[in-house]
């Protein structure tokens, strides 16, 4: 990052590069992840129709009940989004990390989704 860019500009550049290659469809939606300092959000998006199929976040009461560290909460969100996507009748998704590194909370969310039966 010695180019004088801020972290936000750097992430935005990576996000646009990833989005140019990834497209969600009704049969295989895009699983988009957003990670803030306190929370993590995930949604399955059909880009062809511009609709969200399912969503989950760490702000939901069901996820917050157990407490735990950020990685533990991300695992709960990953399992929850996998269940909701499967209830919508979708078995496979395209993972969109949104410019964040595949590491820590983002990785925990993805692995929990895989363990719950979602195919990436």
Quote the number of domains for the chain. 1
Residue 95 lies in a domain: yes
Single pTM value for the model = 0.88
Residue 85 lies in a domain: yes
* Backbone dihedral angles phi then psi of residue 92, each to the nearest 5 degrees: -130, 140
Q: Token digits for 53? A: 């199929």
Residue 2 lies in a domain: no
pLDDT in tens, 2-41: 678 898 999 999 999 988 888 898 899 999 999 999 999 9
> What is d(CA 39, CA 51) in angstroms, rounded to the nearest whole number?
22
Q: Pairing mode, if any, of strands 51-57 and 94-96?
A: unpaired
Residue 68 lies in a domain: yes
Domain that holds residue 54: 7-115
Residue 1 lies in a domain: no
pLDDT in tens, 55-109: 999 999 989 887 788 999 999 999 999 999 999 999 999 999 999 999 999 999 9
Residue 87 lies in a domain: yes
* Backbone dihedral angles phi then psi of residue 46, each to the nearest 5 degrees: -95, 105
> What is d(CA 120, CA 112) in angstroms, rounded to the nearest whole number?
12
CATH number, domain of 108, equals 3.30.420.100
Nearest 5°: CA angle at 61, between 77 and 103? 25
Tell me the pLDDT band of 117, cut-offs 50, 70 and 90: very high
Residue 89 lies in a domain: yes
């Amino acid at each position: 990052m010695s180019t004088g860019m801020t972290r936000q500009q750097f992430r935005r550049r990576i996000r646009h590069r990833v989005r140019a290659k990834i497209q969600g469809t009704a049969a295989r939606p895009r699983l988009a992840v957003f990670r803030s300092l306190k929370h993590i959000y995930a949604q399955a998006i059909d880009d062809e129709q511009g609709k969200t199929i399912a969503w989950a976040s760490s702000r939901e009461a069901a996820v917050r009940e157990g407490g735990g560290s950020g990685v533990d909460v991300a695992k709960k969100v990953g399992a929850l989004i996998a269940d909701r996507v499967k209830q919508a009748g979708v078995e496979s998704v395209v993972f969109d990390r949104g410019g964040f590194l595949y590491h820590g909370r983002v990785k925990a969310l993805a692995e929990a989704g895989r363990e719950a039966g979602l195919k990436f």
